[in-house]
Structure 1
Amino acid sequence: MRIVFYIFLISQLLNFVGVFAGKAKEDSSKLNSINWKKVDENKSKPLQKIIWKSYKNDEFYFGNKNKQGLIKNSTNSSNEEKIYESSKISVPQITELEPFLPLNNFLDYGNFQTSIRWKSSFDGGASDGIGQQNPSFVFDYGISDSSLLSLYITGADDDLYNLVDGQKINYYWQNYGLSFKKKLIDEEDFEFGLSLVSTLEYWRHASGSETSKSIFNQSDSSLGKDKFEDLVGALSFPISKNLNENFTALIVPGITFLPEKLGSKGIGKNAYGNNFYIGSGIIFNAAEDLNLLFSYTTPLGPGNNYFDSDLNYSRKSIYSFGLGWDINSKIGIEGKITNSYGASPSTGLLTIPSDNLPLYSANITYKPHGEDTYLNPLNERDRFISNSGITVNNALIPRAGTSQILFNYDSRGNLFGSYGYSLSNIFQLELLNIGSFNDLNFSGSKNSNLYSTYLGENNINFRLGGKLLILSPQKDDLYWLALRASVGRNDDTNQGYLFTEFMNTFRLNNWLAFNITPKYFFSGVDSFGGIGFSSYINLSDNLMLIPEINTSIKKDSDLNSTLALRYSFSPEKSLDLYYSNAAGVQDLGQLLKDNQYRFGIKFNFLY
């Protein structure tokens, strides 16, 4: 249930971000207020005709037009100029290559940003599943233009990647860290930039269970869990040089402080210990909004950052390479390959427990002070479909600052609910997607392994995801195109999967729109693709018919169908009644066929 804690924490922090951003915007508007003053002209000028245009009181239109400019007023009798320049939005730069490789970049005073990061192996190893995962949350705040305060929260609770003495062994850690970065030398004044970064962390970690031995127990064969709580830390001095406007080089000497022995049952060192290290990195601006990122770090000891399946500790070099893309001034994403499993400054040097593997890292950063992508407002017909469908999603995203709540229940006991929040006009974060499949009939199906793993009795599936809008008629494209991805796990079996969708939505005329949505399911149990088709047929202003079909693309493919009737009380509130033989409305359930049909009801809210 730890994922519930993370979801709750992230949702509360995002609420805080929203309030903080609103306050900052209010303060900014006060600072930018104009004091009007009468100016005597030598000669009167004829009044120009004013043309009024109606925008139907759409606050969204005016709220997104964030214009910047320079206004100059001159008179014939004076050479004096009165200049008003609107405050310019500062786009935050990358503040670190890795948690242990900070850059000499800072946020403007009072600005902040939040990041959600995900590190995982490409497979589950000995414990199967989608992979060994270490999610984290980072909050950065500019104390001044030359100092940055960062909060790190990380957590990993999978079994060890490899078997130890032929057994699966649970390994868990959780970090709460506070880091302070202070600029010591400004590159504008010298030939290089230098900063001091110090971090203090509270590290909770454990190993073992009622059925397995702890890796920290090397003296006997007794089973059980060993738990430890330690204060750990890190210190580094990033040195950087901007060789030109597109190329930055970085050298980081540093040290991490970790315990070298845990508990009383260890023989000698049974933990990592302290490590001096030398890190290096480069950032190359391949395009205006696209960065190539590379780093390589060598641990110097005296401690270690790796142990194998025989619990032998040693040192391994840490690397990373990938891409960073600023989708707009508010949203940035990164994708990298690395063998760093830790997600905080003190643990970032550590490889995946029991192995040294290439991992994938996916990060998203939200910058509330940035300028958003402007989209023309949706017309009323398109606003009615912005709550998506039943088993086939569409590519539309509610405007920035909008919350989306969906709730579903059917006649055989399926129960699902989700909450999403639009961080930008082109990105929605799916903070919570939770539910349970019930009373499914898969007799004769070749998908019994998927049923027992993800849809069996006592299943509760928790998921977290995001949806990115790529094309939209709201910015003069021909149709809507969006990419959605979600991850999560079954709380009963502790197994997870990755689900992706590539949604294409077309508006043919005022009464008909349709979707073509390729989907892909990936897990340690099975992996396969599928495709969904759906239509939105307006029967009247408030009544819509939604037929849907999903089929998996594999040898033993399933084909399911859904027919829904939607009544819209308003563009923000609607009710769906449907009849379907899909296993459920949540991700994997959309691609599987139940042998029996069920009636269902779905409530849709935007606010």
Structure 2
Amino acid sequence: MNLFKSKISSNCVYLIILIIVSITNENKIKSSEIYNSNKNDKIEWKPIEEENIEGDDIDWYILDEEENKKEDEVKWLQIQVEEKDEKIKFIKNIENNIKRSNEIKKSNNRFILLNKGKSIPTASTLKNGELRIETNTVSSFSSGNSGGIGNQNYSGLIQYGLNSQITLGIFYTEADDPLFKKIGQYNESSANLWTNFGGNIKYKILNKEYYKISIDGSIENWKVGSGGCFGYNCTSNSKNIFNSKNEKILNNNLIGSISLPITYKLDNKEFSIVPKLSILPKNQGNHNGKRNFYGNNLGIGLGISNKHTKNITTFYSYYIPIIYGYNSFNSNLEYSKENVYTAGLNYNIDHKITLEGYLTNSFGLTPSTSILTMPSTKQIIYGGRFIYTPTNKRNSIIKSQDKESKKQNNQIYKNNNINLLNERETEIVYGVDNKGTQNIIVSRGFSDNFTFEIATENISKKNYDNKYIKTYLQPGNPSIRGGGTVLYNTKKDFYNLKNSLRMTFGRVLGKTRPGYLFAELANSLDINEFITMNVNPKFAFTGDGTLSSLGLNVIYNLNNRMSIIPNINKAIGNSDNTYSLNLERKITKETKLSLGISNYLSNNDMGQLLKDDKLNYKFKVSYNF
């Protein structure tokens, strides 16, 4: 019996072993088949052609180096495989797609601050091939003795990343307002001119994980003028500050600067310390006499920035002059050393557009002159900067937006004198009325959220009693204005609500050239398929007070080609009650005509807030491409 049990047990063991061997061989065959199948069937990687991808509303952004770190770092080892092996082709496909993905990410990096205020550069440089174009303006809060909206300085700057270590720049600035304060016993403010043209180079000499060091230098031609007058077509005369005579003095000076910015990064904060030397002239004048000027200045700057969100960064800076010359003078022509400070906010609208606003006591807008306060005073002024980065590309995955809805959105803004165009779209508008007033507006979509515009207007010559018309519009003289519109909010779930801000600045080109700032908040609601309502508060800021009005209009679409638009501007302060009625007709896909009647003085900015003594009939044609 025991022998029988032993045989049965042995047979069972043999049977189990045979089953295991059979299963193992079968798995080997299947594994071989899978391997051969994978070997023969290549994986093909294809780019997604569509820009709009349906799906969940995912917020995509680029991780910082610190955010992307892991405690246990993954180590990648190179596989030594023959080129002819199919495996290497598969791996190379993966590598190529990773490389392509990284290139897309690099083209959409977050905005990098190159300065914390004009006087304090950081050690950061632009990416290889990156291009930035910016405009900058500073202005006093009041006009002082200079007239107009205040003392202003304007600048334009183009910067280019030659490689990841070297950034090149070229710039131009101009300030031509009379001095903010009268000098001593002078009867009137002296005419003043600061014009700069030059270039700068920044070279990153050290780039570590948490800190970097650069050398930043500039060379500039600084044209300094005083006395006489520098306004467009002006005929007045004033004493200069260099020899106190009633004559114009104009000097060209070769100046420069060199600094050593050291920037340290900690989480979302950046700290910069910047030793800086500005090489400036020590006197100015002519053969009739000279007077001391600023002279060379050596100081140290401190700066800090804090990134609160993906789009918002605040910054603060402080420059302390230490030895050598001066950086400020008062109404008694007494020169002194004054600390220069700046506090501002940087708002990144989208991948191409950045806006910046700040308070400062720095009036110069170049590397060398940025340590100087406003001539004749050291008071706080305000500034604004617009930055356009055309080389940045749209994200590979973006929020889906219906094209027809987008087209309708733009149409509403155009009908409301708010031109919000698609990226790379251009519009030219020409308007004329029965009294001969003409205007031309050229607009360009820099991105889907920002449209730039430049406009010129010439109001027919006529005598008016209104001081704003006589001072800031000056009928019979041309004017030029520039600015833009930014779309900052859209809510499709609430009557397709859209909010945008339009701001322009410019001046009349008359014997005097006072300017004003115009701002308009556009709020649009789709009541139904045919009716859209707009509520637009409007403001014109001048040196003689602020004009304000509440704009209300309704756009009634009769059909796909024709709209009727009644508009009312309800006076709030220093303005008039004005109205208009327009009929718009789309002739072709690119062309639109408009006929209207209004009591506007003119159709551009402040002209809408002031009434004419008679009704005007106007004609307008626009062309999009």
2:469 touches 2:475 (CA, 8 Å); kept in 1? Answer: no
Give CA-to-partner distance per residue, 1:424-479, whole Å, 9 cap, x none. Answer: 1001112x21102225685xxxx711121123343322111111101235799831
Query: Which residue identity lines up with residue 251 of structure 2 in the other structure?
Result: F
Counterpart for residue 524 of structure 1: 543
2:375 to 353, 356, 375: 353
Instruction: Find the counterpart in structure 2 of residue 212 from structure 1.
Output: 238
Name the stretch that deviates more: 165-174 or 339-348: 165-174
**In structure 2, what is the equivalent of residue 98 of structure 1?**
117
Query: 1:273, 1:172 → 2: CA distance?
Result: 18
Q: Contact 1:156 / 1:173 at 8 angstroms: preserved in 2?
A: yes
* 1:197 maps onto 2:216 in alignment: yes
Q: Larger deviation: 476-485 or 492-501?
A: 476-485
Q: 1:383 to 1:328 in 2, by over 3 A?
A: closer
* Residue 502 (str. 1) matches residue 521 (str. 2): yes
Displacement of 1:98? 3.0
Q: Which amino acid aligns with 1:257?
A: I
The normalised TM-score by structure 1 is 0.82
Match of 2:386 among 337, 348, 364: 364
2:141 is the counterpart of 1:158: no
- 1:595 pairs with 613, 618, 621, which one? 613
> For residue 539 of structure 1, what is the aligned residue in structure 2?
558
1:120 alignment partner in structure 2:
139
The code of the aligned residue for 2:325 comes to: G
2:408 to 382, 404, 415: 382
Within the alignment, does 1:479 sit opposite 2:497 as a pair?
A: yes
1:131-184 alpha-carbon deviations (Å, 9 max, x no partner): 111111111111111111111211111010011223121101111121111111
The 3 A distance-change label for structure 1 pair 475 and 463 is: farther
Structure 1 residues 183, 476: CA separation in 2 closer, same or farther (over 3 Å shift)?
Answer: farther
Structure 1 residue 245: deviation in Å? 1.6
CA distance in 1 between partners of 2:131 and 2:595 (Å): 43
Aligned to 1:23: none
1:606 and 2:624 equivalent? yes
Structure 1 287/159 Cα, relative in aligned 2: closer, same or farther at 3 Å?
A: same
Give the conservation status (yes or no) of the 8 Å contact 2:495–2:526. no
Q: 1:228-267 maps to which residues of 2 (within 5 A)?
A: 228-242=251-265, 244-264=266-286
Question: Could you tell me which residue of structure 2 aligns to residue 550 of structure 1?
Answer: 569
- Mapped to 1, the partners of 2:407 and 2:314 lie a distance apart of 42
AA aligned to 1:109 is: N
Report Cα offsets for 1:325-383 as digits up to 9, x if no partner.
11222111111100000000011011101110101111111112334475542449727
Give the structure-2-normalised TM-score: 0.80
The change in CA–CA distance for 1:296 and 1:324 in structure 2 (over 3 A counts) is: same
Whole-angstrom CA distance in 1 between matches of 2:531 and 2:446: 29
Given the alignment, which residue of 115, 124, 129 partners 1:110? Answer: 129
Q: Distance between the aligned counterparts of 1:66 and 1:369, measured in 2? A: 22
Q: Residues 139 and 407 (structure 1 numbering): CA distance in 2 closer, same or farther, change over 3 Å? A: same
Deviations 1:7-60, CA, capped at 9 Å, x for gaps = xxxxxxxxxxxxxxxxxxxxxxxxxxxxxxxx9845999xxxxxxxxx9xxx98
Q: How does 1:52-131 map to 2 (within 5 A)?
A: 80-81=90-91, 82-83=93-94, 84-85=97-98, 86=100, 87-88=103-104, 89-91=107-109, 92-131=111-150
Tell me if structure 2 keeps the 8 A contact 1:187–1:241. Answer: no
The AA in structure 1 aligned to 2:327 is: N
2:200 aligned with 1:179: yes
What is the one-letter code of the residue matched to 2:478?
I
SS at match of 1:494: coil
Cα distance, 1:100 vs. partner?
3.4
Match of 1:286 among 297, 301, 308: 308
Q: Secondary structure at the match of 1:470?
A: strand
Give me the whole-angstrom Cα distance separating, in 2, the residues matched to 1:166 and 1:316: 28
Would you say 1:270 and 2:288 are equivalent positions?
no
Q: How far apart, in 1, do the equivalents of 2:575 and 2:279 lie?
A: 53
Secondary structure of the structure 2 residue equivalent to 1:351: coil
Residues of 2 paired with 1:43 and 1:186: CA distance? 44
Letter of the aligned partner of 1:449 in structure 2?
K
Distance, in Å, in 2 between the alignment partners of 1:150 and 1:66 is: 34
Return the alpha-carbon distance in structure 2 between the equivalents of residues 184 and 489 of structure 1.
Answer: 44
How far the C-alpha of 1:61 sits from its partner, in A, is: 5.7
Q: Is the 8 A contact 1:248 1:284 kept in 2?
A: yes
Paired residues, what number? 534
Tell me the SS of whatever aligns to 2:308: strand
Matched, 1:515 2:541: no
1:583 paired residue number = 601
* Secondary structure of the structure 2 residue equivalent to 1:509: coil
Shift of residue 212, structure 1, vs aligned partner: 0.8
Distance 1:307 1:455, change over 3 A: same
Unaligned runs of 5+ in 1: 1-38, 46-54, 70-76
Which SS does the other structure have where 2:408 is aligned? Answer: helix
Closer, same or farther: CA 321–291 of 1 in aligned 2, 3 Å: same
The farther-off stretch of 483-492 and 336-345 is 483-492
Change (3 A) 1:335 1:42: closer
2:505 partner amino acid: V
The residue identity in structure 1 corresponding to 2:227 is G
Distance 2:196 2:463 in 1: 43
**Contact persistence 2:117–2:343 (CA under 8 A):** no
Distance verdict in 2 for CA 1:171–1:567, change over 3 Å: same
CA shift, 1:197, in A, is: 1.1
CA distance in 2, matches of 1:192, 1:113: 24
